[in-house]
Amino acid sequence: MRIDLHTHSNVSDGTDTPAELVAKASAALEVVALTDHDTFDGLAEAVAAGVQAGVEVLRGIEISAQHRGASVHLLGYGCLADAPGLAAELAHVREGRAQRVPAMLANLARYGMPVPVDVLARQVGDSPSVGRPHLADAMVELGYVADRREAFDNWLADDKPIFVHRYATELKTALRLIRQAGGVALVAHPWGRGSRAQLPPELLAELAASDLLDGVEVDHQDHDQATRADLRALAAELGLLATGSSDYHGAGKQEHDLGCNLTAPEVLTEIRRRVAERGGRL
């Protein structure tokens, strides 16, 4: 059984509509979770498309959290979208996403790459969750860079000149909100892109012991083989679930094809059990 639990549609920073993503998933997978950044807005369309296409679509989200100023992405599965605490916090995060845009546009202008607001607005489309990938796509459209990767590597990454900080939920708060919404919480790509130092084994152990964290995403393109082996061993030692997923973004990310990493059926069974126990809806 092919199970991929981390994908993005154009409701956040992917490039496929939820229905297009699910149609593609039906050719490659038996189960797919849609995990857009900080919004549940794509789920209804995706679930309906899954019924049509004959692929099971699970309800997920990727939440922008932070720990001591460093970004930590959390995957939530089976959260009730209308749980008040979580819904209010996600609105706060999305507001923070929108609020940082003028400062990043000012930085782009300062570096000789003006991005008219209508160009950016077209890239954002109907997404309620604007992110740097939309700015990257506007930069591509205007001929400043060749692709998203170049935009991030030279300009938009956290240590590059265009970057502007944004609001993100404190890690333990976000974990509690996922739990209160009936969901299962995992850290996405915990040791990818230099973030290993921010999430040391002691912190993962503390979160596991506090019973707020269900697992970690082990098989991810941002983890090399040695990192996966270390993280898998740590997850086993701490009793954390270990998943594998693509982090598909459509045309927005190379080498993240649907199904490039997979989650074991028994892990999904345990996720289902916990969501049911907590009153969530997968």
- Give the interface size with ligand AMP as a residue count (CB under 6 A): 10
Residue reference for tokens 């979770």: 33
Provide, rounded to whole angstroms, the least separation between the CB of residue 14 and Zn ion: 9
HSE (side-chain half, CA atoms, 13 Å) at 228:
12
Rounded CA separation 45/255 (Å): 26
36 sits near ligand AMP (criterion: CB under 6 A): no
Q: To which residue do tokens 């990938």 refer?
A: 133
Nearer to Zn ion by Cβ, of 96 and 192: the residue is 192
* CB burial string 111-123: b at 16+ within 10 A, e below: eebebeeebbeeb
Contact between 128 and ligand AMP (CB under 6 A)? no
* 38 binds Zn ion per the rule CB under 5 A: no
67 binds, among Zn ion, Fe ion, ligand AMP, none (CB under 5 to 8 A by kind): none
Residue 55 and residue 264: Cα distance in Å, rounded?
17
Question: The tokens of 233 are what?
Answer: 């061993």
5 binds, among ligand AMP, Fe ion, Zn ion, none (CB under 5 to 8 A by kind): none
By CB under 5 A, residue 4 contacts Zn ion: no
Least distance in Å: CB of 96 to ligand AMP? 10
13 binds ligand AMP (CB under 6 A): yes
Q: Is 45 in the site for ligand AMP (CB under 6 A)?
A: no
Q: Does 73 bind Fe ion (CB under 5 A)?
A: yes
Q: Which stretch binds ligand AMP (CB under 6 A): 16-24, 127-135, 137-145, 200-208?
A: 127-135
Q: Is residue 36 within the footprint of Zn ion (CB under 5 A)?
A: no
Closer residue to Fe ion in complex, CB, 72/268? 72
Nearest to 53 by CA among 36, 32, 79: 32
132 lies in the binding site for ligand AMP (CB under 6 A): yes
**What does each C-alpha distance from 167 to 14, 89, 96, 174 come to in angstroms?**
21, 11, 5, 13
In the list 215, 247, 248, 259, the residue contacting Zn ion (rule: CB under 5 A) is: 247
* Exposed e or buried b per residue across 232-256, where buried means at least 16 C-beta atoms within 10 angstroms of its C-beta: bebbeebebbbbbbbbbbbebbeeb
Q: How far is CA 98 from the centre of its chain?
A: 17
Residue of 9, 11, 13, 262 that binds Fe ion (CB under 5 A): 13
Interface with ligand AMP (CB under 6 A): 13, 37, 131-133, 148-149, 152, 249, 253
